[in-house]
Amino acid sequence: MTEAPSPAPYLHPEFQHRLDAVIDGALAADRIVGAVVLASVDGSTVYRRAAGFIDREAGRPMPDTAIFRLASVSKLVVAAAALVLIGQGRLALDDRVETTLPAFRPRLADGGDAPMTLRQLLTHTSGLSYGFLEPEGGPYHCAGISDGMDRAGITLGENLRRLASVPLLCRPGTAWNYSLSLDVLGAVIEQVAGQKLPDAVRSLVAKPMGWRDTGFSITDASRLAVAYADGALRPRRMGDEDRVPTFEGLAPVAMDPARAFDADAYPSGGAGMVGTADEILRLLEALRRGGAPILSQALAAEMGRNHTGGLPIAGWPGWGYGLGFSVLVDPQLAGTRESPGTWRWRGAYGHSWFVDPLAKLTVVAFSNTALEGMSGGGRLPQDLCRAIYR
């Protein structure tokens, strides 16, 4: 039997100092405005820090109870909600999407039929994509498809109708493409649960987890972190209907921080939630420890298993993909000291998280700065990871 790791080394002042130095360096260099960083080893909190500002212009310090726009951290929660329904026998991983959503039947470029499954939605092998992953004027833009972080003034059903009108990038199951798959999954959850997605997520995940602040609506506006975006000299405060550059040759991502207050904004399963670092850490720890109180041990293990085989995960060499997040397959190829089987994902508003099940280590790092605080977008997550594993 493998001996459980002791949290003692992580409680050593040198470990604390290394993480403090990374955060202080990012703040001093004006790469981020504020952050909440939490680390847990075998269920014991070994690091907890809120730093910088929740609102720089007002001079308000960042509290560790800050609420953040979660962006793609939402995918973890919505994926977990779907797995709860699977555990209840109301869904199955290889169910066809058209069984629940008969009107959602996107086709291949040649017009051929291309049925997709829930597993393909959860693993981003559905053939769908995102508008911000295509050049300006691409098919998603021409169809008026929302990526889930703007205020398009449309319903979830209308966004899915537009999405289904655009040909798939490939036959489902043949390639990995980051996508609006979790928005489609949100519509599946609504139909099966017989509730709007916010209510379904509340009953399936939030209530059993004892959450108070993580969901599709703001519980305390005074704790909502102001959103900032990378700037030439320092992060700039985001405006309504903002457009944040991502990668050269691709369209900027449309981000509207006011969406968090818009009760009429459709519930985006891939990007529409708000929440706290503490509550997301609680969910990750529940999954790492076997899934209770929401999932069986078998389903929690299924979430953390690589389901994409050898398919390349664009921009993430050495990684595969599980049911809602990436899974580390080859640490050497990935250039990381994390253990094989580590789970990791991110959020465009400036967030990252990872779980190293072998080390029984869970880390949540939420910033209010896009894209510097995001894994794959900025330095902060990589610097924190190196400091932890040094």
Active site residues: 72
Q: From CA 211, how far away is CA 70, in angstroms rounded?
A: 15
Strand partners, 31: none
DSSP string covering 271-314, please?
T--EE-HHHHHHHHHHHHTT-TTTS-HHHHHHHTS--STT---T
Pairing, β 351-356 against β 361-367: antiparallel
Count other Cβ atoms within 10 Å, centred on residue 183. 30
Q: From CA 365, how far away is CA 384, in angstroms rounded?
A: 9
Q: What per-residue string of b and e applies to 342-380 under the rule 16 or more CB within 10 Å gives b?
A: bbbbbbbbbbbbbbbbebbbbbbbbbbbbbbbbbbbbeb
Q: How far is CA 231 from the centre of its chain?
A: 23
Could you tell me if 187 and 193 are in contact, meaning their C-beta atoms sit under 8 angstroms apart?
no
Could you tell me if 251 and 141 are in contact, meaning their C-beta atoms sit under 8 angstroms apart?
yes
Angle, vertex CA 325, rays to CA 72 and CA 23, nearest 5: 65
Could you tell me if 162 and 187 are in contact, meaning their C-beta atoms sit under 8 angstroms apart?
no
Could you tell me if 186 and 267 are in contact, meaning their C-beta atoms sit under 8 angstroms apart?
yes
- Backbone φ and ψ of 130, nearest 5°: -125, 150
Q: From CA 274, how far away is CA 148, in angstroms rounded?
A: 13
Q: From CA 31, how far away is CA 383, in angstroms rounded?
A: 12
- Backbone φ and ψ of 78, nearest 5°: -70, -35
Q: State the residue for tokens 């465009």.
A: 348
